[in-house]
Amino acid sequence: MARTIPVLEIFGPTIQGEGMVIGQKTMFVRTAGCDYRCRWCDSAFTWDGSAKDEIEQLTADEIWRRLEAIGGRRFRHVTISGGNPLLIAALGELIALLHEKGMRVAVETQGSRWQDWLLDIDDVTLSPKPPSSGMDTDWAALDQIIERLQADQSRVRRISLKVVVFDDADLAYAKEVHCRYPSVPFYLQAGNADVADSDVDALRAKLFSRLEWLVEQAADSEELADVHILPQLHTLLWGNKRGV
């Protein structure tokens, strides 16, 4: 029998708002559950119980049918997001099916857990969490994930590291990550401290001032000579709304 996947949202086509895949037209499949509890998590409903009743247990096949029903033939890229998708072994079946259908597949994870299907992902974003999250980084786990991805040459994939930065301690952490893995393309992301704010204009002004600060910090840094600095595009566009 086909295994099921705990799904909270399926939506799109829309654009990727973050990191290496920013701007990419994509569908989103959001899975439930996370092994972290980041202070500023913008998807806390995936793990805090508040959306418990919305979780559906779906097979890979059922997820594909939903994607087709809402996205038609208007997409070639699917993003699996969470929560932490790496908690879910059964996603391997979905990824295989998506590839059969001609899709490219992106995943974002904090890099705390391994699944063999990670080797099959086209766009891997590893986003270890900085001090402001309240979480501790499991460096051994992250080392091993990056080693395994880099050792496997069986397919073309793009991998990147992304660190969200709210303050100076986060920036120091970002430098530590970048120096530890200098060969992995590195993205700094301006943090959104107002995940509950619903005034889009005020939110935009704040986000741009944080981004400007982050660009200045990176501009002045030799350690951060070769990085990308980006905002969360979807938050700038749509604020803290879900499902866009």
User: Is residue 78 near ligand SF4 by the rule CB under 6 A?
Assistant: no
User: CB under 5 to 8 A by kind: which of its own copies, ligand SF4, none does 83 bind?
Assistant: ligand SF4
Stretch 121-160 residues interacting with ligand SF4 (CB under 6 A) = 129
The reply on whether position 242 binds ligand SF4 by CB under 6 A is no
Are residues 228 and 188 in contact, defined by beta-carbon separation less than 8 angstroms? yes
Question: For residues 173-202, which are near ligand SF4 according to CB under 6 A?
Answer: none
Nearest alpha-carbon partner for 119 in 107, 110, 127: 107
CA distance 189 to 133: 14
Q: Which of the listed partners (ligand SF4, its own copies, none) does 84 bind, with a CB threshold of 5 to 8 Å by partner kind?
A: ligand SF4
207 vs 191: CA distance, rounded Å? 8
Joined together, the tokens standing for residue 6 give 């705990």
Binding mask 62-81 for its own copies (x = CB under 8 A): ----------xxxxxx----
The reply to whether 23 sits near its own copies by the rule CB under 8 A is yes
Least distance CB 109 / its own copies (angstroms): 20
Taken in order 38, 40, 43, 44, is the CA torsion positive or negative? Answer: positive
CA distance 158 to 21: 10
Strands (E), 46-184: 56-58, 77-81, 104-109, 123-126, 158-165
Contact positions vs its own copies (CB under 8 A): 12-15, 22-25, 72-77, 187, 201, 204-205, 208, 211-212, 215, 218-222, 224-231, 233, 236-237
Contact positions vs ligand SF4 (CB under 6 A): 34, 36-38, 41, 43, 46, 82-84, 110, 129
